[in-house]
């Protein structure tokens, strides 16, 4: 006691007390200094939290902050608390992104470098640091992150991955292997990474290298080709992965080059050297024919072999006598399949013989042509007589012209110039008289010029192949030649008034010259000053026809762009000429010059020529819109995009608060801020989902493949998403930084233009004329022929597009020799094993007669079939969208040769010319699915029995496929099959019509919606071009751009309030509901509040609507949700019935993108089995076209079967469906991605 008194009285204590008093006085006197110090410390704390520097220093700062927190102003507390929440969310978000990366085998959703730094920081924390963090916040520890990630890693099945190698799915396999390699390289210090199966890939590579060498030495080129294709696939699949280039790609690439060089040398020694010195046709043929046959067995050598044979023919022609060349011609054209391949591939040398052979197969007299011609409405007797006379005039005229071509009086070039002068005189006559007699003579002159032009291309040695009778009668009908003189009146006036043009469709069967018919018609119209657009659904066919016919138009001296070959995408781009520049100038400079306004296209109306009527009814045309947009580029924008990319995976990243965003916003007019905010939010979300949809990358350009299409669209981007693909490719070393910078921009959609409206705009087109192969068909047991078009499609064609006349041209080859009877040749199988076995058996039998083409619905089905039968199927060729452009040519050329089996996906069933070579060969088509489109079925069948040759068609249908798509059962099929007459065909046709009806439901509504936005978009263009101040114009751009980026959205929450949801499950549900709303407010911050609606439905045994409000008022709605006490029972049926009622009561349902969010534990107690699924189907039958997305979030239940079945029903009705993890912030954020991201944009 005495000791304590002495201590308290000591000088030391007095000095401490003095220091305390001094400190208090200092603090009072220098309060501003203390506040500044606190401010600096707090700012450092916030900066560390936002940078995710979760280390011991941050823990100490947090601990000190918590001690003084309540001495700080409330504003400062809120700043720090928000930073703590952001840090927690970002750590959790990056962990979720890592889980997603593992689940999707895609590291691009995560910034690996930043995540590694975070993990390193977490690893440095001591136990006391972690306790401090837990007390101050909910920041995860390293162990909790490892637990979450390791759990996902354990889900990876390496054995299952290796099976992809056996299934020949090399792209998927190596994508996943590259992921595992990259993941191991980055995270092996933190997680138990699975070992990438590199050695399995190397073993497959080495095995096929050995097989290729052994088989080529043995002369087994079919097996050689199979091995080389595997090596090629491995090289292609690994080329774009930096981590696999040295491990796999370089080896595969080198092996392939060495193997092909070795084979080329062997073939040169064996065949080429002998052929290059042969002077006798027999010696030459004996060398090149077996040489060419090798290309059929090994299409990988096709390009090299055919090019070499062409050079060899040039040499033989130069050194051999004319007699030997004639003998070689006869030998090749009349010989075996391979001989005829050589002849067909070298038309310049053998044109005369080829055309003569083709002509003998296609002879149809004028009388037969006119008698078998079928027109709707029917021609009068006078018109029939006139048409017959005109055709006979053509026949006599063209024979006379051909004699003149060969009389030798003058050179072909001189003759051509003379005929060209005559043609121009004929054009003047038509323009002066305006008579159909003069017009018919002009058609004849153009046909003669076409014949002479092609004769000149073969250096005068060819056969003067003239357009045949059926092609000319088609052109006559399209131009109304059968009508009396005076019908046209003034041509100029005729083509300026759409009502004066009798829009018409002509049917010419597949393989009988649709392209030439359209080319002749385009040439006639072009000569008369009527500009023409020839439009096709296929990029490949468009480019093919343009390459064939544009040189002829040039030879006619038609001005450039008089005739244009286009897809509808390119057509819309041309029709918008000048508009993007106008919008861009307004956005970038807030002004509009007269020079820019003058660039908007004001061209005269053109004639629209349609190649295949299907284009009118495809999902990509009718009811679809062309999303036109501009890209904004600047150094500041580039910095912003790169910042967003570096922050991907951070769920709480506040992009609009960054200096980079503020710098971008400062570059533009203040009126554009809502657009920039919306685009910036879209960038954040898209940075973690750039691989959906899956991009294609080729020649340093990104493209996308539309669903079900064989061709990639290279001219489109997904707005504010595709740019991240380029950044990923930059990381992988596939593209340079300078190249990437060209693609870093902000995408703004300024208009949506309806494809279906383009042909109807009189300022664009004065009429529609078309040639197609799929208007009607005749099958066994059907008389008369029936229309392929559905009733709705006929209505669209006649009422909307004014195509009220149709003509059905007879085949120039007479009756079809296609062997197919529905009741006999359509087989059904109760399981996939029997189905696959039957396909293989029939293919092996049919290949003895000729080539076999087996068509599958999609690549998945094709791969499944190949995997089931690969042991016994033998060497087959495979044609899918993954087949390279160079590889397709060889496979297609060999497909119809005897003994070859080709497996193909359905896009190759139309527009691809599989030519049967030998007169006695029979190409067999095996269709393995029942198409919902009869037009598609007709096109696929048209790959055989072409141009008068024989062909077989078989159809093998699997009941599991029919059940899934057409709701067909085996019992129903068996009953139909066993019934007399045509019951079997009628039953399947009825199911097809049902399915077709389901697919076209809502088509009219989509068309109306597309028309509305089309009208709005053109109104915007008109407003921008009108005189007036810039301000209202910018306001108009902002309004339509924000609407396109974030269309009106209606979130429908369906919350399970049953007894099983009480306690922790209800807390999780309630928290997820609030997380949804918070995320929605963040991602739609720049959107008009009135354009986001929220509705809540609660359900247990009963369901009731809690209410609907705008997003900004959801707090009030939130307050009305009852407490945690649940009701008995869980009946999904009542929940979905209430959703049905809500959508039925919703005014202008089509205006909204309705998104259903179903939150439950998944435990349905409805006693009526299947009741929920039935109710969901009824809901979708009524409202599917108004439902954009369906989300299912499950809490606590292990039985997810019913929820998965419900999601499948939505997917079957073309509604995007997701199953979300309620703890995954990344998925919650992605649920609010703007609907505009789901549609590609055409960037200007």
Instruction: Report pLDDT digits (tens) over 275-289.
Output: 999 999 999 999 999
pLDDT at res. 1003: 75
pLDDT at res. 215: 94
pLDDT at res. 450: 93
pLDDT at res. 354: 61
> What is the fold, at CATH topology level, of the domain defined by 1046-1243?
Rossmann fold (3.40.50)
Instruction: Report the first-to-last Cα separation within the chain, whole angstroms.
Output: 91
DSSP 414-441: HHHHHHHHHHHHHHHHHHHH--HHHHHH
- Which residues have CB under 8 Å from 1167's CB, separation 6+? none
Instruction: Report pLDDT digits (tens) over 495-554.
Output: 443 344 578 999 998 878 899 999 999 999 999 999 999 998 888 889 889 999 999 999
Strands 625-632 and 746-754: antiparallel
DSSP H helices in 188-321: 198-218, 221-238, 242-244, 250-267, 273-277, 281-297, 302-319
What are the b/e assignments for 307-334, b being 16+ CB within 10 Å?
ebbeebbeebeeebeeebbebbbebbbe
Does CATH number 3.40.50 belong to domain 495-625+757-812+1002-1015?
yes
- Can you list the positions of beta strands (E) in 738-788? 746-754, 765-772, 776-777, 786-787
pLDDT at res. 977: 77
- Which residues have CB under 8 Å from 799's CB, separation 6+? none
Cβ atoms of 269 and 277 closer than 8 Å: no
Among 569, 520, 509, 514, smallest CA distance to 544 is for 514
CA gap 97, 107 in Å, rounded: 9
> What is the fold, at CATH topology level, of the domain defined by 818-997?
Rossmann fold (3.40.50)
pLDDT at res. 1185: 77
Strands 1153-1160 and 1187-1194: parallel
Q: Is the bond into 87 cis (omega within 30 degrees of 0)?
A: no
Torsion of CA 761, 762, 763, 767, to 10 degrees: 100
pLDDT at res. 1226: 52
Distances from the Cα of 109 to the Cα of 94, 655, 846, angstroms: 9, 17, 49
Residue 684 CB neighbours (<10 A): 22
CA gap 505, 773 in Å, rounded: 10
Instruction: Identify the three-state secondary structure at position 981.
Output: coil
Distances from the Cα of 334 to the Cα of 191, 287, 747, angstroms: 69, 17, 59
Q: What is the pTM of this model?
A: 0.82
Which regions in the chain score pLDDT beneath 50? 1, 4-5, 7-8, 33, 486-500, 780-782, 1232-1237
pLDDT at res. 1211: 81
pLDDT at res. 575: 84
Domains 818-997 and 1046-1243 are alike in CATH topology: yes
Strands 1092-1099 and 1103-1110: antiparallel
Helix (H) or strand (E) holding 1024: helix 1003-1025
1049 forms beta bridges with 1092, 1153
Cβ atoms of 492 and 448 closer than 8 Å: no
What are the residue boundaries of the structural domains of the chain, listed by start?
40-153, 158-259, 278-361, 495-625+757-812+1002-1015, 626-756, 818-997, 1046-1243
Among 605, 582, 580, smallest CA distance to 530 is for 605
- Which residues have CB under 8 Å from 967's CB, separation 6+? 991, 994
pLDDT at res. 613: 86
pLDDT at res. 779: 54
Phi (first) and psi of residue 654, to 5 degrees: -95, 85
C-alpha triplet 92, 94, 98: angle, nearest 5°:
115
- Tell me the CB-side half-sphere exposure of residue 528, using CA atoms within 13 A: 31
CA gap 942, 939 in Å, rounded: 5
Instruction: Report pLDDT digits (tens) over 655-694.
Output: 888 999 999 999 999 988 888 988 898 888 888 778 778 8
């Amino acid at each position: 006691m005495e000791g304590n008194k002495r201590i308290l009285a000591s000088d030391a204590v007095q000095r401490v007390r003095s220091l305390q008093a001094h400190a208090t006085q200092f603090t009072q006197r220098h309060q501003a200094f203390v506040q500044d110090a606190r401010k600096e410390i707090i700012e450092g704390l916030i900066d560390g939290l936002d940078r995710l520097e979760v280390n011991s220093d941050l823990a100490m700062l947090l601990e000190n902050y918590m001690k003084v927190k309540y001495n700080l102003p409330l504003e400062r507390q809120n700043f720090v608390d928000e930073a703590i929440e952001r840090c927690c969310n970002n750590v959790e978000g990056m962990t979720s992104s890592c889980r997603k990366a593992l689940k999707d085998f895609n590291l691009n959703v995560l910034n690996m470098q930043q995540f590694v730094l975070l993990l390193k920081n977490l690893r440095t924390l001591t136990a006391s640091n972690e306790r401090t963090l837990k007390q101050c916040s909910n920041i995860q520890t390293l162990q909790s992150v490892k637990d979450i990630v390791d759990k996902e890693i354990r889900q990876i099945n390496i054995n299952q991955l290796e099976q992809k190698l056996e299934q020949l799915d090399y792209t998927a396999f190596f994508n996943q292997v590259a992921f595992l390699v990259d993941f191991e390289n980055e995270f092996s210090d933190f997680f138990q990474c699975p070992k990438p199966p590199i050695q399995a890939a190397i073993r497959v590579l080495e095995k096929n290298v050995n097989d290729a060498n052994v088989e080529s030495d043995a002369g087994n080129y079919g097996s050689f080709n199979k091995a080389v294709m595997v090596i090629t696939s491995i090289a292609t699949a690994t080329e774009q992965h930096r981590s696999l280039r040295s491990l796999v790609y370089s080896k595969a690439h080198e092996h392939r080059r060495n193997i092909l060089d070795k084979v080329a040398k062997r073939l040169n020694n064996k065949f080429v050297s002998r052929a290059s010195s042969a002077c006798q046709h027999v010696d030459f043929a004996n060398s090149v024919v077996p040489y060419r046959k090798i290309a059929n067995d090994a299409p990988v050598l096709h390009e090299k072999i055919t090019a070499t044979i062409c050079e060899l023919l040039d040499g033989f022609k130069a050194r051999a006598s004319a007699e030997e060349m004639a003998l070689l011609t006869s030998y090749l054209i009349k010989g075996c399949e391979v001989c005829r391949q050589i002849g067909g591939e070298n038309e310049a040398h053998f044109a005369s013989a080829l055309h003569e052979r083709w002509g003998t197969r296609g002879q149809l007299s004028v009388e037969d042509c006119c008698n078998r011609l079928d027109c709707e409405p029917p021609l009068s007797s006078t018109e029939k007589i006139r048409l017959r006379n005109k055709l006979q005039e053509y026949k006599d005229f063209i024979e006379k012209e051909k004699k003149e071509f060969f009389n030798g009086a003058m050179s072909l070039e001189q003759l051509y110039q003379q005929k060209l002068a005559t043609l121009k005189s004929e054009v003047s006559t038509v323009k002066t008289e305006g008579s159909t007699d003069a017009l018919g003579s002009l058609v004849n002159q153009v046909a003669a010029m076409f014949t002479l032009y092609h004769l000149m291309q073969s250096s005068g040695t060819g056969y003067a192949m003239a357009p045949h009778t059926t092609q000319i009668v088609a052109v006559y009908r399209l131009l109304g030649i059968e009508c009396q003189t005076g019908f046209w009146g003034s041509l100029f006036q005729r083509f300026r008034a759409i009502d004066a043009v009798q829009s018409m469709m002509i049917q010419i069967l597949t393989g009988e010259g649709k392209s030439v018919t359209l080319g002749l018609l385009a040439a006639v119209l072009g000569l008369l000053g009527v500009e023409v657009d020839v439009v096709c659904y296929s990029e490949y066919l468009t480019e093919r026809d343009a390459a064939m016919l544009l040189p002829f138009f040039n030879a006619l001296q038609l001005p450039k762009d008089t005739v244009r070959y286009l897809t509808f995408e390119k057509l819309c781009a041309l029709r918008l000429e000048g508009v993007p520049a106008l919008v861009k100038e307004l956005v970038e400079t807030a002004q509009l010059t007269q020079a820019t306004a003058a660039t908007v296209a004001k061209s005269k109306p053109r004639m629209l020529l349609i190649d295949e009527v299907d284009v009118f009814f495809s999902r990509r045309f009718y009811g679809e819109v062309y999303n036109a947009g501009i890209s904004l580029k600047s150094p500041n924008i580039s910095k912003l995009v790169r910042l967003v990319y570096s922050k991907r995976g951070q769920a709480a990243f506040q992009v609009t608060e960054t200096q980079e965003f503020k710098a971008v916003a400062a570059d533009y007019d203040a009126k554009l801020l809502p657009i920039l905010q919306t685009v910036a939010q879209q960038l954040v979300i898209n940075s973690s989902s750039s691989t959906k949809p899956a991009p294609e990358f080729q020649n340093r350009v990104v493209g996308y493949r539309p669903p079900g299409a064989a061709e990639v669209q290279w001219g489109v981007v997904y707005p504010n998403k595709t740019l991240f693909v380029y950044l990923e490719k930059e990381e992988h070393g596939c593209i340079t930084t300078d190249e990437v910078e060209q693609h870093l921009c902000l995408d703004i959609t300024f208009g949506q233009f309806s494809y279906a409206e383009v042909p109807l705009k009189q300022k664009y087109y004065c009429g529609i004329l078309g040639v197609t192969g799929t208007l009607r068909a005749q099958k066994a047991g059907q008389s008369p022929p029936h229309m392929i078009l559905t009733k709705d499609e006929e209505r669209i064609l006649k009422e909307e597009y004014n195509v009220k006349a149709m003509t059905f041209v007879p085949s120039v080859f007479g009756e079809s020799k296609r062997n197919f009877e529905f009741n006999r040749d359509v087989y059904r199988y109760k399981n996939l094993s029997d189905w696959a076995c039957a396909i293989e058996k029939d293919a092996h039998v049919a290949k003895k007669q000729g080539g076999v083409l087996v068509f599958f619905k999609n690549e998945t089905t094709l791969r499944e079939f190949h995997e089931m039968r690969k042991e016994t199927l033998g060497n087959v060729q495979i044609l899918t969208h993954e087949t390279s452009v160079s590889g397709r040519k060889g496979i297609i050329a060999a497909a119809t040769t005897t003994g070859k089996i080709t497996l193909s996906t359905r896009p190759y069933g139309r527009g691809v010319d599989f030519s049967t070579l030998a007169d006695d060969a029979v190409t067999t088509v095996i269709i393995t699915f029942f198409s919902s489109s009869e037009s598609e079925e007709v096109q696929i069948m048209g790959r055989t029995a072409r141009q008068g040759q024989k062909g077989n068609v078989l159809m093998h249908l699997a009941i599991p496929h029919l059940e899934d798509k057409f709701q067909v059962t085996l019992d129903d099929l068996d009953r139909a099959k066993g019934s007399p007459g045509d019951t079997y065909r009628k039953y399947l046709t009825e199911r097809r019509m049902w399915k077709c009806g389901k697919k076209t439901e809502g088509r009219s509504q989509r068309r109306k919606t597309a028309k509305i936005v089309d009208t709005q978009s053109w109104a915007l263009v008109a407003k921008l071009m009108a005189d007036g101040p810039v301000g209202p114009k910018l306001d108009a751009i902002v309004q339509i751009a924000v609407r396109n980026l974030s269309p009106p959205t209606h979130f429908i929450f369906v919350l399970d309030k049953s007894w099983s949801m009480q306690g922790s499950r209800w807390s999780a549900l309630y928290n997820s509901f609030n997380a949804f709303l918070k995320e929605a407010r963040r991602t739609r911050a720049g959107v008009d509040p009135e354009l986001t609606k929220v509705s809540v439905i609660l359900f247990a045994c009963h369901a009731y609507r809690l209410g609907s409000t705008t997003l900004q008022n959801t707090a009030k709605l939130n307050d009305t949700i009852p407490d945690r006490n649940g009701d008995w029972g869980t009946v999904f049926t009542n929940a979905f019935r209430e959703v049905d009622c809500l959508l039925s009561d919703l005014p202008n349902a089509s205006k909204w993108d309705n998104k259903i969010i179903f939150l439950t534990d998944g435990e349905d107690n409805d006693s009526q089995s299947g009741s929920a699924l039935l109710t969901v189907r009824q809901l979708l039958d009524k409202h599917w076209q108004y439902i954009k997305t369906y989300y299912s979030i499950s809490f606590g239940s292990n039985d997810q079967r019913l929820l998965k079945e419900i999601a499948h029903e939505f997917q079957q009705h073309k509604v995007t469906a997701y199953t979300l993890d309620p703890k995954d912030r990344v998925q919650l954020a992605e649920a609010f991605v703007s609907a505009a991201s789901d549609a590609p944009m055409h960037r200007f």
